[in-house]
Amino acid sequence: MIPHNEPHASLSSEDQRAVDALLEAGLVDQIDTNENTNESAESKRKSAALRLLKKLESYPVEQPDTLLVDSTLARIAREERSIRARMELHTPSWTKRTQWADFGAVAAVALIATGVGWPIAQRMRSAALEQNCANNLRTLGASIAAYSGDHRGNLPATASLGGLFESPDTSKMDWNNYDHSGHLLLLERNGYAKHDSIHCPACASRPGCGTFAFRMPSANTPFQLNAMGRTPLAADANPVILRIRMGHKANIPPSTSPCSMNHQQRGQNVLFTDLSIVWLPSPHINGDNIYLPNGVKDSESIPLAPQATLNNDIFLAQ
């Protein structure tokens, strides 16, 4: 052995060339050293290296330990299985056990969301209908103002208006055959308003709702826009008239303060003669019910025959 404090022995460049030549020749010396005594120095180096290598072949070497080989192969196999396991997608064993529980939780959340979301959606829809109703009334007000300007200040009125100032024959005129909405339809026929603007959009899904309720004329007041002061001119459909015409089908109970059915009886949009729009939660204005004639206390007491009002009574009908 070479001591640790001494440099390692190394082959000279001539010995390295001789060993390389032996390796290229397959470790076979091409010169018979017993017969040729005049061999070159390189051949001698080859022969010496070959004899040294033959001594290494006879050096005793122990057989490799098979246990070491087996343990190494087993470790390699475990590592390969671990890699494959990490690459696979496994369904957790608890999935089937919790499937129904998860379904129940999702259903509960859906029910809660529906219970909370549905009323919100309904209120948003109602608010949108109320706003669209107000927009239609605003358009109607502009149409009435344009008509009044073209007709010496008069409000739209059909030929049937004259019959209201006489004592009507109840057998010939009642709320079932008198169509007060014809006054508003006159605006449509003469091009002052479109059909949709004389209706509340909430009426689209309700049969018998008809047009907006329009002001009934008074016997002692000209039926003119500027002669009425600031008072209601039109509003959501009159629930009292609707109840008379549809009876039990209208599903409107008798009331001393009936609100329009257009907005689930929460209130009504009202167009005033100054063309402003006001939302009223009650049909009463300064003690006057816009849906009942003066002196009528409840919806069951309304006269069967339509008549002109007295003393500037505010009564909107259709």
Query: 143 with 33, same domain?
Result: no
- Does 309 score more than 90 pLDDT? no
Position 34 pLDDT exceeds 60: no
Same domain, 162 and 300: yes
All residues at 6 or more sequence positions from 252 whose CB lies less than 8 Å from its CB, including other chains: 239, 242, 243, 258, 261, 299
* 104 found inside a domain: no
152 and 260 housed in the same domain: yes
pLDDT, residue 95, reads 54
Q: Is 234 exposed, middle or buried (0-12, 13-18, 19+ CB in 10 A)?
A: buried
Residue 85 belongs to some domain of the structure = no
68 in any annotated domain: no
Report the length, in residues, of the chain.
318
Of the listed ranges 3-12, 39-48, 64-73, the least confidently predicted one is: 3-12
Indicate whether 240 and 156 sit together in one domain: yes
pLDDT bin (cut points 50, 70, 90) of residue 187 is very high
Tell me the average pLDDT across 41-66: 73
152: number of Cβ within 10 Å? 7
Same domain, 140 and 230: yes
Query: CB pairs under 8 A, 24+ apart, for 225-230?
Result: 225/144, 225/145, 225/148, 225/153, 225/154, 225/155, 225/273, 226/148, 226/153, 227/153, 228/273, 228/312, 229/273, 230/272, 230/273, 230/274
Asked whether residue 282 is domain-assigned, the answer is yes
- Tell me: the pLDDT tens digits for 247-265? 766 666 666 678 888 888 8
Could you tell me if residue 73 is inside a domain? no
Q: Between vectors from CA 210 to CA 204 and to CA 212, what angle results, nearest 5°?
A: 100
Q: Does the model's pTM come out above 0.75?
A: no
Range of the domain at 17: 13-53
Percent of the chain with pLDDT strictly greater than 70: 74
Res 232: pLDDT: 95
170 and 36 inside one domain: no
Residue 290: per-residue pLDDT: 93
Is the same domain home to 49 and 174? no
Q: Which residue has the tokens 């475990």?
A: 78
- The answer to whether residue 251 is domain-embedded is yes
Same domain, 292 and 155: yes
pLDDT of residue 116: 64
pLDDT digits (tens, 9 = 90+) for 117-154: 667 777 788 888 999 999 999 999 999 999 999 999 99
Asked if the structure places residue 90 within a domain, the reply is: no
Residues 48 and 128 placed together within one structural domain of the fold: no
Residue-wise pLDDT tens digits, 74-106: 888 888 888 887 776 656 555 555 566 566 677
Distance CA 256, CA 296 (A): 9
Q: Is residue 171 part of a domain?
A: yes
pLDDT at 174 over 90: no
Q: Scanning the structure block, which residue is given the tokens 């070959």? A: 50
Q: What is the pLDDT of residue 33?
A: 44
Rounded to whole angstroms, how far apart are CA atoms 69 and 314?
Answer: 110
Task: Count how many domains the chain has.
Answer: 2
Looking at residue 80, its pLDDT comes to 84
Q: How confident is the model at residue 235 (pLDDT cuts 50, 70, 90)?
A: very high
- Whether residues 43 and 163 fall in one domain: no
Average pLDDT over residues 184-200: 92
Give the chain's radius of gyration (CA, Å): 54
Is the same domain home to 133 and 45?
no
Q: 295 and 214 share a domain?
A: yes
% the chain with pLDDT above 90: 26
CB distance 303 to 293 below 8 Å = yes
Cα 72 to chain centroid, rounded:
62
- Mean local confidence (pLDDT), 3-32: 67
Q: How far is CA 19 from the centre of its chain?
A: 86
Cβ–Cβ contacts within 10 Å for residue 239, how many? 24
